[in-house]
Amino acid sequence: MKKDNGLYWLLLAVVVFVIDIASKFWIVKNFFLFESVNLLPFFSITYVRNIGAAFSIFEGQRWILAAIAFIVSTVIVYMLYRNKHKQKLENFSLALILGGALGNLFDRLYHGFVVDFLDVNFGDWHYPTFNIADCAICLGIGVFILSNYVKPKKTD
């Protein structure tokens, strides 16, 4: 078995998953649907349910979205297995994406929808409500793109 791989980064994915799921269960237990608590002039905690994907696209396609998340998660685990342990930036990004994908997959399978609660708005502009898994996925994608531009220099 290959030991010098990125599978050690699965621990980060588990941490992201646990924080995401714990936050969502806390919201479901302590908020009514659509209840909102304003924390800052531009930020609220608002409990909503998303039956689609990002920005509610593919609404009502629970099983298709679950299948996509499962396939993406499987591919990411394989990529971590194939990556070298020293590919820290790429492995970090993949672990964030994996943890977030699994968090939203869990919601789809357990609740039938994704629990969203982070609500940002500036004046009349309102960003779609999101969750910690979404943050991890977006950050992971950004770092993944960056990691493919910041490659270590090859030495001969």
Give the C-alpha separation, 48 to 129, whole Å. 7
Question: 75 is written with which tokens?
Answer: 């591919």
Number of helices and strands (H, E) in the chain? 4, 4
Beta bridge partners of 125: 122
- Please indicate, yes or no, whether the overall pTM of this predicted structure exceeds 0.75: yes
Question: Per-residue confidence at 153, pLDDT binned at 50, 70, 90?
Answer: low
Residue 101 near residue 72, CB atoms below 8 Å: yes
Residue 113, classed as helix, strand or coil, is: coil
Whole-number percent of the chain with pLDDT over 70: 92
Residue 95 near residue 16, CB atoms below 8 Å: yes
Question: Is 119 among the catalytic positions?
Answer: no
The 10s digit of each residue's pLDDT in 29-83 is 999 999 999 999 999 999 999 987 766 677 778 788 889 999 999 999 999 999 9
Question: Is 4 among the catalytic positions?
Answer: no
pLDDT of residue 133: 97
* Amino acid identity at 15: V
pLDDT of residue 149: 86
Catalytic choice (20, 107, 119, 134): 134
49-58, 94-103, 111-120: range with lowest mean pLDDT: 49-58
Give the C-alpha separation, 149 to 23, whole Å. 33
Catalytic choice (20, 107, 116, 119): 116
Return the DSSP state at 153. P
pLDDT of residue 3: 72
- How far CA 52 is from CA of 33, 34, 48, 104, 127, in Å, comes to 17, 17, 12, 11, 16
CA nearest neighbour of 151 among 78, 82, 88: 88
Residue 48, classed as helix, strand or coil, is: strand
pLDDT of residue 156: 47
Residue 43, classed as helix, strand or coil, is: strand
pLDDT of residue 42: 96
CA nearest neighbour of 88 among 136, 150, 137, 134: 150
